[in-house]
Chains A and B, each alone.
Chain A
């Protein structure tokens, strides 16, 4: 099965019944698969006039209580930024798949990249936090998309599956379980205000049409949902809560794999470069190497970096000129080697082995 199709199947398994999208390479197969499947399940597929509208439509749909998703790539992702901020501010659960391609601008529509890793975290204006996952196999396309819906509902925020063209168009054999775990948002309790947080900083959710008369706005608002945009204390408490509800649990929700904690040279990787790293560390058994494979990039679980007591350097191979490498760098006191690569091809194992050998011989790659 193709990675993009696996994303769609993961969404369907998770009970997604609403998809709004706009065609864009290399993500289009997600939309095409949803267009074929959703009408047969009494769901709704709608092709919108652009990505701004797609993002808007899934937010509107999510407020009726359905699981809603869109899929896009770089240029469309840029168009979605404002409404992503709206989903954050209005605490709307929704899932976005970004099958990353080379940018900036139209760039390389058919080539892989991971150039949107900072945009997903910081692209919309203002302070906020989101959750972003990255698949490195077709199996993970399925599993992480399904998981994204649970996280979106649990934390009431947009959750992103940051795939790339290689994973999206790769075909692998996968195992689809009979059912996947489904965690829906906790309900808005009787007598609770619609934006009043519980102990976990997250308010309960009530869908439109259930009698709770919820006023939703992108303006800074009070716990009733009423605009209150010139009160500094209100803004600070609201925005800090929106950030803290995600950041305070970043270590407990971290999704990762660690191989060889004793390593001196540790790769930090996510998405398709994980495959090259596995080749270098596990199959080629390059001496002294290990890796941290992050399936969840944001919120960034920096404590995992301290799990390597012998580390001499972290190496971050990613399909950009160094994005997550900077995030690693600000948390550690050893050298961080950014092995960024752009152009659309994955790193060859030899390229990464050469970096390790250069480090071991005292050089600086």
Chain B
């Protein structure tokens, strides 16, 4: 049962009303439960930020580490004991700003980790500063006149850096997300699942998605199925307000930290 994976004595959690992180945790726990993972052989690792509080609510060994460094800590856990299941929760700022170097190198090494990135376009815990995924023109406390920098496409970055499995979904696509986590876990090597999710408090409030429902509608309507786009687009560029969802890559490049088949 999924609920068995949660530390009831840690409740209530710190997430704001309407936050997308709980939905994503739910999908991940559903996935590991479906796979029959043993709690005692599972380690959740995270960095700093709203996303990174998730492992603390899960009833396994966990490492809530320093900002941006979750993948480096997870590398140590997995390489020292490949028989452990190691799953990383991270966020857009944690993973791609302060932790960007660890991200591309973990992809390159193709370490057998599953990484779920809660991309809410913002630094939520510190009150809504712009991140490397804040879209151009969007407002945050550090982009009061609209973000001017090009955002990262985290899924494409992971593909380019060498990860064996990469997918992107949103907090609306719970069934697909759960399946993607299962597929990612089952793919030896580095698996990266980006989840675009709502932050009504710090991002939505300043960008006309104050209501969680409006935010999720925006995510759903902005998302374009990658398969469909690849078939029909004839090479044209995706409109900048849209983003692709689906499986970006599933391959079997040499990986590290894969448990011995014994």
Chain A residues proximal to chain B, CB less than 8 Å: 17-18, 20, 44, 46, 48-50, 52-54, 56-66, 68, 82-83, 86, 208-219, 226-227
Contact = CB atoms under 8 A, between A and B. Distances in A.
B83 A213 contact: no
Interface of B: 7, 9-10, 39-41, 43, 45, 55-56, 59-66, 69, 72-81, 83-84, 101-102, 105
Contact of B80 (A48, A50, A64, A82): A64
Which of B9, B10, B75, B101 lies at the interface centre, i.e. has the most chain A CB atoms within 10 A of its CB? B75
A208 B55 contact: no
A209 B84 CA distance: 7
B258 to A, nearest CB: 13
B64 A20 contact: no
Nearest to A54: B72
Nearest to A18: B80
Given A208-B61, A209-B41, A46 B73 contact: no
Contact of B64 (A44, A60, A211, A219): A219
B80 A44 contact: yes
A215 B55 contact: yes
Nearest to A211: B40
A216 B9 CA distance: 16
A209 B81 contact: yes
A68 B76 contact: yes
Which of B7, B74, B76 lies at the interface centre, i.e. has the most chain A CB atoms within 10 A of its CB? B76
B73 A56 contact: yes
A60 B80 contact: yes
Specify the main secondary structure of chain B where it touches its partner. Answer: helix
A83 B69 contact: yes
Contact of B76 (A18, A52, A65): A18
Which of A20, A58, A61 lies at the interface centre, i.e. has the most chain B CB atoms within 10 A of its CB? A61
Contacts of B78: 60
A215 B56 contact: yes
Contacts of B105: 48-49, 53
A49 B43 contact: no
A57 B62 CA distance: 14
Nearest to A20: B76
B62 A86 contact: no
A301 to B, nearest CB: 32
A97 to B, nearest CB: 17
26 contacts: A18-B80, A46-B75, A48-B105, A52-B72, A53-B102, A53-B105, A54-B72, A56-B69, A57-B73, A57-B79, A59-B65, A59-B73, A60-B75, A60-B77, A60-B78, A62-B76, A63-B61, A66-B80, A82-B66, A209-B41, A209-B61, A212-B61, A215-B64, A217-B64, A218-B66, A227-B56
Nearest to A219: B64
Given A53-B101, A211-B40, 4 more contacts: A56-B102, A59-B73, A215-B56, A218-B64
B66 A86 contact: yes
Which of B10, B41, B69, B102 lies at the interface centre, i.e. has the most chain A CB atoms within 10 A of its CB? B69
A18 B79 CA distance: 9
Contacts of B102: 49, 53, 56
Contacts of B101: 49-50, 53
Given A48-B75, A60-B73, A216-B64, A210 B84 contact: no
A82 B39 CA distance: 30
A50 B73 CA distance: 13
A124 to B, nearest CB: 11
A58 B64 contact: no
Contacts of A44: 79-80
